[in-house]
Structure 1
Amino acid sequence: MLNLTTFTQDKLQSLLNTRNGETKLGQRVMLPEVNLALDSNLNHAKASGVRFVILGIGEDIGPRANLGRGGATDAFDSAMAQFLNLQSNRFLSGNECLVLGQITTEDLALPENSETEQLRNHVDQLDERVIQVLSTIFNAGLEPIVIGGGHNNAYGLLMAAKAALKRPIAAVNLDPHSDFRPKEGRHSGNGFSYAAASGALGYYHVLGLHELKNSETTLQQLETFGGHWHSLQQIWVRRELSLESALQQISKQLNNTQLPVAIELDLDAITNMPSSASTAAGIPLLDALHYVSYIAKHCPSIYLHLAEAAPSCHVAGAIAGHRETGQSISELIYSYINGRINAL
Structure 2
Amino acid sequence: MKYLIPFTRQMCLQLASIRDGETKLAQTVHCSDGNRPLSETLDSARYSGVRFAILGIGEDIGPRANVGPGGATDAFESAMAQFLNLQSNRFLSGNECMVLGQMQTDDLQLGEEGDTDAMRSNIDRVITIVSQVISAGLEPIVIGGSHNNAFGLLTSVKHCLNRKVAAVNLDPHSDFRPPEGRLSGNSFTHAAASGALGYYHVLGMHELKNSEETLEQLSTFGGHWHTLQSIWIRREITLKSALDEIVTRLNDCQLPVALELDLDAIINMPSSASTAAGIPLLDALHYVSTIARNTPCAYLHLAEAAPSCHVASIAAGYRETGQSICELIYAYIQGRMQAQQIGYI
Normalization by structure 2: what TM-score? 0.97
How far the C-alpha of 1:254 sits from its partner, in A, is 0.2
Say if 2:46 is the partner of 1:50.
Answer: no
State the distance in 2 between where 1:317 and 1:178 align. 29
Q: CA RMSD in A?
A: 0.8
Match of 1:196 among 152, 175, 192: 192
| Contact 2:9–2:32 (Cα < 8 Å) also in 1 | no
* Matching residue of 1:223: 219
* Matching residue of 2:38: 38
SS in 2 for 1:107: coil
2:63 counterpart letter in structure 1: P
Say if 2:116 is the partner of 1:120.
Answer: yes
Say if 2:265 is the partner of 1:277.
Answer: no
State the distance in 2 between where 1:188 and 1:324 align. 26
Q: How many residue pairs are counted as aligned between the two chains? A: 340
How far the C-alpha of 1:188 sits from its partner, in A, is 3.3
Match of 1:143 among 139, 163, 171: 139
Structure 2 residues not aligned, in runs of 5+: none
| Contact 1:66–1:187 (Cα < 8 Å) also in 2 | no
Say if 2:160 is the partner of 1:176.
Answer: no
State the distance in 1 between where 2:10 and 2:181 align. 39
1:152-163 correspondence runs (5 A): 152-163=148-159
How far the C-alpha of 1:322 sits from its partner, in A, is 0.2
* Matching residue of 1:338: 334
State the distance in 2 between where 1:332 and 1:133 align. 22
State the distance in 2 between where 1:186 and 1:340 align. 34
Say if 2:262 is the partner of 1:266.
Answer: yes
1:101 counterpart letter in structure 2: G
Say if 2:105 is the partner of 1:105.
Answer: yes
Runs of 4+ in 1 over 3 A off after TM superposition: none
Structure 1 residues not aligned, in runs of 5+: none
Normalization by structure 1: what TM-score? 0.98
Deviations 1:82-113 (A, max 9, x none): 00000100000000001000110000023xxx
* Matching residue of 2:316: 320
* Matching residue of 2:22: 22
| Contact 2:142–2:300 (Cα < 8 Å) also in 1 | yes
* Matching residue of 1:245: 241
| Contact 1:296–1:339 (Cα < 8 Å) also in 2 | yes
How far the C-alpha of 1:148 sits from its partner, in A, is 1.5
SS in 1 for 2:107: helix
Deviations 1:201-250 (A, max 9, x none): 00000000000000000001100111000000000000001000000000
How far the C-alpha of 1:13 sits from its partner, in A, is 2.3
| Contact 1:152–1:186 (Cα < 8 Å) also in 2 | no
SS in 1 for 2:277: coil
Deviations 1:163-213 (A, max 9, x none): 000000000000000000111123331110000000000000000000000
State the distance in 1 between where 2:199 and 2:287 align. 18
SS in 2 for 1:145: strand
How far the C-alpha of 1:34 sits from its partner, in A, is 1.4
Deviations 1:269-328 (A, max 9, x none): 000000000000000000000000000000001100000000000000100000000000
2:199 counterpart letter in structure 1: Y
2:50 counterpart letter in structure 1: V
* Matching residue of 2:70: 70
2:253 counterpart letter in structure 1: T
- The sequence identity of aligned pairs, in percent, is 68
